[in-house]
Amino acid sequence: MSYQHEYQDKTLEIQELINATPLFTGLSEEVLNQVTCHAATRSHPANRVIILENDWGGSVYFILEGWVKIRTHNVDGKEVTLNIVGKGEIVGEMATLEEVPRSTDVITLTKTTISTIPAHDFVTFLNIEPQAGIRLAKLMAKRLRQLNRRLRLRETDSLSRVADTLIFLAEGQGFKGTQGIELPNLAHRELSSISGLARETVTRTLTKLERKELITRQGDLICIPDLIALERAIV
């Protein structure tokens, strides 16, 4: 491959990163060039570990395509999925900002394209661009608010917990489709881990929600025709 082709490919990768990342919206070309000058983009298969708990936070990761889960383990060693995020999301920023080891694992759920930016470049970017820092703070506040809501619903019935899990995913990664809000039809073990319910319970509850016409399942997608109606199902 010629140097010109390599340069064109690199330019295309950086433009895809900028287009997919709300954090970079509206920034000057100078700032964007500075933060993305060492960016590297790679594609990963499903079930690939991207970040390991207790590793050092040397980079920040931006998801350009696909889905990843953020997980940890409880005191009994059971896997707990804290979040599932997709295109436009950022992961690994907390360890970078705090300069501490990673607190969770990040694993791909599907074929995923991820762009990485060195921690130093990312921190420098936040220092010179206050608006980006505000956007990042809002993102982290939103995640905390969603987590608090999920914790409050841990003592409710299974239908409420599964409905809330779907709303949680829809708010984070849902997109408007012809049948309403659409999100990936994830493996039931993932929904089980997020909701804290047994996989069999999740399967039965999804069937109940479908019978109530609160959701529909179409191949790789779960569709929510009326998000407000699904919210009303939560006790």
Residues in the chain, total: 235
Same domain, 131 and 173: no
| 184-232 residue pLDDT tens | 888 888 888 888 889 999 999 999 999 999 999 988 889 999 999 999 9
| 10-23 residue pLDDT tens | 678 888 888 888 88
Query: Which residue, of 150, 166, 198, is where some domain finishes?
Result: 150
Q: What is the CATH number of the domain that holds 115?
A: 2.60.120.10
Is the confidence at residue 146, as pLDDT, over 80?
Answer: no
Same domain, 33 and 10: yes
Q: What is the token pair recorded at 64?
A: 């350009």
Same domain, 189 and 99: no
Is the confidence at residue 7, as pLDDT, over 60?
Answer: no
Q: What is the token pair recorded at 46?
A: 């499903």
What three-state secondary structure class fits 72? strand
Query: Which residue, of 150, 165, 187, is where some domain finishes?
Result: 150
Is the confidence at residue 2, as pLDDT, over 70?
Answer: no
d(CA 52, CA 35): 24
Do 153 and 197 touch, CB atoms closer than 8 A?
Answer: no
The 10 Å CB-count burial string (b at 16+, else e) for 109-129 is: bbebbbbbbbbebbeebbeeb
Q: pTM of the prediction?
A: 0.81
Same domain, 137 and 207: no
Residue with tokens 């409420």: 160
Is the confidence at residue 153, as pLDDT, over 80?
Answer: no
Same domain, 174 and 217: yes
What pLDDT is stored for residue 5 in this prediction? 52
Domain coverage including residue 80: 1-150
